[in-house]
Amino acid sequence: MRVNSAARRVRSSVTGGTGGMTTRPYIGNSARSAYPCALFQGPPRRIATLVGGVDCRVRHHQGAACPGSAVPRRDVALAALVIAIWGVNFVAANIAMESLPPLLMAALRFTLVALPAVFFVRPPGNGVRAVVLSGLFMGTLQFGLLYSAMMLGMPAGLASLVLQVQPILTVMIAAALLGERPNRTQVIGIVIGLVGMTIVGWQFLAHAPLLPFAMTIAAAAGWAAGNVVTRHSPPRTGFSLVVWSALVPPVPLLILSFFLEGWSRDADALAHVTLRSVGGLAFVAYGASMIGYGLWNLLLSRHAAATVAPWSMFVPVIGAIAAFAYNGERPTPLGILGGAVTVVGVLIALGVGRRWLARGGRAAVDRPDAVPAAEPPGL
């Protein structure tokens, strides 16, 4: 959004503080209409707009939220698109695994994501280490453990629920390593969402085998660790990180497939793969990975982990709807109740009803990272 000439006039004042002298620009009154941020509310005054060294106006220009402001509608729409894709993804994965072993399917998934796109997409610019760690955590660890757990008896419905413990793990890791402390509203919302998912999965929990259950929790931890890596080292674009990090998982997943599924089984599956399974694999690779994780990484680079992570709690709800449309699987009354509780928890975590829960407390700060340089060094 272009700011008029009056808003471009910046006057600097110097204020003292415990960390030394801080330069604070003055934004003209006309800028308030251009940027509906909480910083611009109230009468004209000298206000600090430098957060992490980046002017609030620059953040709005690049699509990021100002501290204390709501998530932009565009980012809400992107998050809704991600959870819709990921919800349908479990049905697509089941279709792909009708003729492909799980680990082999995962290896093929990331191979399709990386090739040939890696020859046409610029590197993400956040360093080799961040790209490798992202591929290991969100690719090899998450899907290697998840698909192995499903092969060992973890029900697909329960797997989709248990994997959504990721938000609480993401918030915990981000708080420990990045200092991003969730506010009370976010904690309450996440806890309510977890209670809702527990209600939905209660009918499965009594019969869940212990080892696959623990492996699925570890898969969620891998996803959470990958979220924090992306948050700590934001890529040039979320899509570029998805493509380049996809170079990491295929070889480890193929090795796991060789030992756990057997070379002969893999060869036979490739020789007799059906078009139906190929279609499911294409959706998993290009829809869930390239589009879904590309947008997810983009959102993590713009907003605090505690703001983005709760959105994934919607995935089991969308998955239940997709399963009903796909094979007529009807949710139980307990499942409907749990889904409703989950939705309420996510909405609270995202700030709906914050005024009632905070009781006059200060609004949470959705703290974006400093905007990456136009030409970041390294990979």
Q: Which structural domain range is residue 29 located in?
A: 5-61
Q: Which of 37, 61, 85 is the last residue of a domain?
A: 61
Q: How many domains does the chain have?
A: 2
Q: Evaluate whether residue 67 is within a structural domain.
A: no
Q: Evaluate whether residue 111 is within a structural domain.
A: yes
Distance (Å, rounded) from C-alpha 123 to C-alpha 147? 28
What pLDDT is stored for residue 212 in this prediction? 85
- φ/ψ region of 227 (left if φ > 0, alpha if ψ in -120 to 50, else beta) reads alpha
48 with 152, same domain? Answer: no
User: What is the identity of the amino acid at 53?
Assistant: G
- Orientation angle between helical segments 263-271 and 250-260, nearest 10 degrees: 110
Q: Evaluate whether residue 363 is within a structural domain.
A: no
Question: In the beta sheet, which residues pair with residue 22?
Answer: 15
- The answer to whether the beta carbons of residues 365 and 68 sit under 8 Å apart is yes
What pLDDT is stored for residue 343 in this prediction? 77
- The reply to whether omega before 116 is within 30° of 0 (cis) is yes
β strands within the chain, DSSP E: 11-17, 20-26, 50-51, 54-55
- The answer to whether the beta carbons of residues 125 and 164 sit under 8 Å apart is no
51 with 184, same domain? Answer: no
Q: How would you write the pLDDT of the chain (379 residues) with one tens digit per residue?
A: 444 444 444 333 333 444 443 333 433 333 333 333 333 333 333 333 323 333 344 444 444 444 444 678 899 999 999 999 998 988 898 899 889 998 999 999 999 999 999 999 999 999 999 999 999 999 999 998 988 887 787 776 677 777 878 888 888 899 889 888 888 888 888 888 888 877 877 766 666 677 888 898 899 999 999 999 999 999 988 899 999 999 999 999 999 899 888 999 999 999 999 999 999 999 999 999 999 999 998 998 888 887 888 888 788 778 878 877 877 767 678 777 877 887 788 778 767 655 544 544 444 445 544 443 333 334 5
Q: Evaluate whether residue 252 is within a structural domain.
A: yes
50 with 143, same domain? Answer: no
Residue 13: strand, helix, or coil? strand
What pLDDT is stored for residue 252 in this prediction? 93
Strand-strand pairing, 54-55 and 11-17:
unpaired
224 with 305, same domain? Answer: yes
Q: Evaluate whether residue 369 is within a structural domain.
A: no
38 with 117, same domain? Answer: no
57 with 81, same domain? Answer: no
What pLDDT is stored for residue 306 in this prediction? 78
pTM over 0.75, yes/no? no
244 with 291, same domain? Answer: yes
40 with 85, same domain? Answer: no
Q: Evaluate whether residue 68 is within a structural domain.
A: no
What pLDDT is stored for residue 2 in this prediction? 44
CB-based burial, 234-272: b 16+ in 10 Å, e otherwise: bbbbbbbbbbbbbbbbbebbbebbeebbeeeebeebeee
211 with 312, same domain? Answer: yes
42 with 124, same domain? Answer: no
55 with 77, same domain? Answer: no
DSSP one-letter string for 164-202: GGHHHHHHHHHHHHT-----HHHHHHHHHHHHHHHHHHH
52 with 96, same domain? Answer: no
Q: Evaluate whether residue 254 is within a structural domain.
A: yes
- The answer to whether the beta carbons of residues 34 and 3 sit under 8 Å apart is yes
Q: Evaluate whether residue 230 is within a structural domain.
A: yes
